[in-house]
Structure 1
Amino acid sequence: MQGKQISRQMTSADWYRSLKADADSYFQAFTAYRKRTDRHKNTLQMFSDAVPSLIIDNKDNNDKSVFEYLGVGCGAGLSDLTLLRQLRRRFPSIKATMVEPSSKFLEEFNQNRANIPNDLDDVTFDCRQATFDEYQQSCEGARFDCVCGISVLEYVEDIDRMISWMYSALKENGSLVLFFTSENNVLLKFWTHSDQRDIHLIKPSLVEKLLEKHNVRKIDRLELDSTINITECFEETSEAGSRLLDFVTHAASFRRSAPTEILREVLDYLSRNSVRKDDGIYAPNNYTCLVVQK
């Protein structure tokens, strides 16, 4: 089956129920994924070390005004909070607007924020439960020193429009941070292979091309290497493995709902695109980060 698409386009099948449209199932599936990948640990390292310096270097050191930050699709917010802790060392006052459609992720965000010691005492948070489109319609004229979108481009119908809006929402000398799946990420490979229409193929070259028409001053490209332990996906009775399969396929209750043929093809695809080690089966889970200067 090498090179063939998963049979019966998943998003048009009778059994298919979109994970994207089921907030509770998505939260559970993402939680299973988060526990089985080192992506988040590596992302926090990147957002603690490399990303803050690129943003700070773009600002005037004499500027003492309030630093305006927008986090789009912030989720549980650990990456945004890590970045804000570093920015707080340079900017004495920060206002952070956090936008996230899931109430459960916003609850996690507030818990994570409460667990951070004094580093964020002078950061004012405005947390809004809203989609990108809902927020865009409500914030006409808002401008930010930094706009950060972590794993949001994959879920947007019109990538060009979103990138254009995020860039236009920057102040002069502002920074746009975009973090998304790289081309050799097994998730993106699978979503493309299975004609998964809930997710969009995002190539760094495409994003850079869309940005070029805005005459951006500078783009720094960072690459993040990580893996997912998908061992439990092959264990029929593993509830965690089933949740992880939901995230991989973006189909709610995939193991129970999908026809046997499709389940077998998906597991075969994952097996062929992973590496077996002594402690489990691992698939590539790499990401690209672009830091764009206006």
Structure 2
Amino acid sequence: MEDTTRKTCYEGTAVQDFKLFRERSRELVVIVPCLREILHQEFNRTGSDKNILDVLGVGSGGGELDVPMLTVLHSKLPDILIRAEIVEGSNELTSHFKALISKTPNLQKIPFVWNSMRSEEYMSRVKATGDVKKFDFIHMIHMIYYVDDLAETISFYHSLLKDDGRLLILLSAEKNGWDTLWKTCQKDWINRYCSSGEVIACAKSLGLKYKELSIPNQFDITDCFDPSSQTGKGLLNFITAKDNFYESLTPEIRSGILDLLRHKCSTEKDGRVMFDSKLSCILIHA
């Protein structure tokens, strides 16, 4: 396995807040069946005539979604060599990814290339060296929010697709709770944000063919309204992208955000506050 070590993204307490969010939101439960269906459909069409399948994961985190996807591809295409390349800025999450692979016997023969860097660093390296590798399947799951230039990023990774390749972008759906929160607060403490609406508009402007699938989801954020709850604090840290919600923001801004979360981003059900976390899966054709 090849390894390139560079600066990281999620580390330390940010990783813990991310894991808490993943556990509470149950996103893996709703995302994995959708990804399985997409992979079955797409590689029924293109997989049978290949000897090698090249997969690129951008912002793969701890591999919780890469491992199920690679497992599906391996089971569906057992006679094809699958090669995986990963771009991930967090060393801590990459270590978790490697540990998952070690516990998944059918993936241990897949050769991996590990790039410990941000997407922008990977793009710059490829452009500088001219070493352009093409892929059958590229996925960007919950990472497009963090890129510096949306159009440049989509255009670049689309250019890395083989003739019949697919670029999968999974992110928050337009007008869900995240979209409402981040766009309302954008002037105060969020530098940039995008939802499925911006990605689709970008794909259209670039003249790319795509299809969109909706994934309904919601999760319980009632603990966020209890200042003594450690779970609530961790969720608020992740939701607001702040290391410490209560210390990083003024009382006025905190109050406004909590009101927004309760009344505009969520619905109440059986006395619980349920955050609207609807997802969008956008599949862009080569």
Which TM-score bucket, shorter chain as reference?
A: 0.7 to 0.9
Say if 2:9 and 2:90, in contact at 8 Å, map to a contact too: no
Choose 262-271 or 69-78, whichever is displaced more. 262-271
Partner residue, 1:61: 48
Unaligned runs of 5+ in 1: 1-19
Relative to its length, the structure with more helix (as a share) is: 2
Partner residue, 1:276: 268
Once superposed, which parts of structure 1, at least 4 consecutive aligned residues long, lie more than 3 Å away?
A: 20-23, 212-216
Say if 2:120 and 2:147, in contact at 8 Å, map to a contact too: no
Deviation at 1:128, TM superposition (A): 2.0
Q: How many residues align?
A: 270
Which of 47, 64, 82 is residue 68 of structure 2 equivalent to?
Answer: 82
Partner residue, 2:159: 168
Partner residue, 1:71: 57
CA pair 279-134 structure 1, distance change in 2 beyond 3 A:
same
Unaligned runs of 5+ in 2: 1-7
Deviation at 1:256, TM superposition (A): 2.7
Partner residue, 1:200: 193
Q: Once the two structures are superposed, what CA deviation does each residue of 1:142-193 show, in whole Å capped at 9, x if it has no partner? A: 1111111001111112000000001000111111111011113212210110
Return the letter of the residue paired with 1:37: S
> What secondary structure does 2:268 align onto?
strand
Deviation at 1:103, TM superposition (A): 1.1
Partner residue, 1:148: 139
In structure 2, C-alpha distance between the alignment counterparts of 1:282 and 1:70, rounded to whole Å: 34
Alignment of structure 1 residues 24-39 onto 2, 5 Å: 24-39=12-27
Deviation at 1:71, TM superposition (A): 0.1
In structure 2, C-alpha distance between the alignment counterparts of 1:283 and 1:167, rounded to whole Å: 33
In structure 1, C-alpha distance between the alignment counterparts of 2:70 and 2:148, rounded to whole Å: 29
Say if 1:94 and 1:124, in contact at 8 Å, map to a contact too: yes
Does residue 210 (structure 1) correspond to residue 202 (structure 2)? The answer is: yes
Give the % identical residues.
23
Choose 174-183 or 184-193, whichever is displaced more. 184-193
Choose 257-266 or 149-158, whichever is displaced more. 257-266
CA pair 211-34 structure 1, distance change in 2 beyond 3 A:
same
TM superposition score normalised by structure 2: 0.87
> What secondary structure does 2:76 align onto?
coil
CA RMSD of aligned residues (A): 2.1
Does residue 109 (structure 1) correspond to residue 101 (structure 2)? The answer is: no
> What secondary structure does 1:36 align onto?
helix
- The higher relative CO (CA closer than 8 Å, separation ≥ 6) is in 1
In structure 2, C-alpha distance between the alignment counterparts of 1:45 and 1:279, rounded to whole Å: 29
